[in-house]
Amino acid sequence: MKSLKIDSEEYVGKENILKTPKISQGESGTDSSLPSEIGRIKVTLSIIGVDYFSLKNTLNTIENNLMIMDIISLDFQPSNNSVDLVFYTYYLK
């Protein structure tokens, strides 16, 4: 693993007011709020030394994880053997 960045979207501003993040619903362009009891965390992960088969294994692990994870961005660079992943994971507050 080259880098890992975890961003909580729960607190906003100096007052730590709870923010309900917006999520996109498909291609319709409409947004809907998460339920107030659900929180969301943005994870940015950069991995080096990755080939196609280890990338498939990593994606399979994410898909079969008990935590719900939505992959937002995946940038696989076979020439550098690296992958950059950005995904959201959700939790019960």
> Which tens digits make up the pLDDT trace of 27-56?
433 345 889 899 999 999 999 999 999 999
Instruction: Provide mean pLDDT across the span 12-17.
Output: 38
What are the strands, taking DSSP E only, across the chain?
A: 3-8, 11-12, 17-18, 22-24, 31-33, 38-48, 69-77, 82-92
**67-80 pLDDT, tens digit each:** 889 999 999 999 99
Domain boundaries, the chain: 3-92
Percent of the chain with pLDDT over 70: 74
* pLDDT greater at residue 17 or residue 93: 93
- The model's pTM is 0.68
35 closest CA partner among 52, 22, 46: 22
Does the domain spanning 3-92 belong to CATH 3.30.70?
A: yes
Helix (H) or strand (E) run with residue 61 in it: helix 52-63
Say if residue 63's pLDDT is above 50: yes
